Amino acid sequence: MGVDLANKLHVVPAPRDERLVRNPADIEPPDGDGAVGVYNHRLYAHYGTAQFTALARRLVAETPVRLTVMDLFGNRSPERVRLDASPEHHRDQLAALPRVTIASDRGDRVRYRNLLAGAHFGIAPFRAGCPWSMSVIDCQGMGLPVIAPRSGWLAKHIDPELLFDTAEQALSIAARLATDAEFYRVHAKRAHASVADLAPTTVAARYLEALQ
């Protein structure tokens, strides 16, 4: 027996962080070898980090892209590591790759903004059926195009030209963002526009409407 939730259930997304919003017109396109991709997601195994690591290995070897990988945990307690050591395992694997920098915001929002501002595009997580990613929204608010696997919410939210089904497609998109200034500018503007309806005032209005 099913439950009829028509007009009874409203899903209101979290708002974007207004500290992480930048005019895409102020962004300079990357210049080939200076292109930086950022991966700002948790490094747990269930986020698909092994798949990202495999892609990262090819990105730095086969394209002009350098990578910044966010370490969102830092030094976890031994107890937490015993529960799930996958973040440390993947972090060490990524740190061993050339042209990959492991960075931490140390819980400082200004430092986090500066790390995003130092990148040119984001890479979405490979989490199976990903239902939402605030880290993707953070990148887009900063005018960073985000490349993503065609899965879950990402398949609906990300611009179709930045979605990939294979590693080869991901490499091609990343290389084009790194070398094609016009393509980059178009997608920087689209990324920024895609989170316009997540402004806090807009989200608050939707929340209040849902309560009526």
Of 10-19, 123-132, 169-178, which gets the smallest average pLDDT? Answer: 10-19
Please check whether residue 8 lies inside any domain of the structure.
no
Q: Confidence band (pLDDT; 50, 70, 90) for 60? A: very high
User: Does residue 201 sit within a domain?
Assistant: yes
Does residue 12 lie in a domain region? Answer: no
Contact 92, 124 (CB under 8 A): no
pTM value > 0.95: no
Position 110 in a domain: yes
CATH code, 207: 3.40.50.2000
Contact 54, 170 (CB under 8 A): no
Burial class (CB in 10 A: 0-12, 13-18, 19+), 168: exposed
Which residues sit opposite 100 in a β-bridge? Answer: 67
Q: Is residue 13 one of the residues assigned to a domain?
A: no
Rounded Cα distance, 38 and 180, in Å: 18
In this predicted structure, what is the pLDDT of residue 72? Answer: 87
Domain count, the chain: 1
Residue 1 has pLDDT above 60, yes or no: no
Domain that holds residue 114: 30-211
Lowest mean pLDDT among 54-58, 73-77, 179-183: 73-77
- DSSP for 26-56 reads GPPPP-GGG-EEEE-S---GGGTHHHHHHHH
Within a domain: 1 = no
Q: pLDDT, tens digit, for every residue of 130-170?
A: 999 999 999 999 999 999 999 999 999 999 999 999 999 99
d(CA 34, CA 159): 24
Residue-wise pLDDT tens digits, 101-116: 999 999 999 999 999 9
| Residue 14 covered by a domain | no
Poorest-confidence range of 68-82, 123-137, 174-188?
68-82
The DSSP annotation for 158-180 comes to: S-GGGEESSHHHHHHHHHHHHH-
**DSSP symbol at 118:** T
In a domain, 17, yes or no: no
CA distance 174 to 147: 8
Sheet with 36-39, side-by-side order of all strands: 100-103, 66-70, 36-39, 121-123, 146-149, 163-164
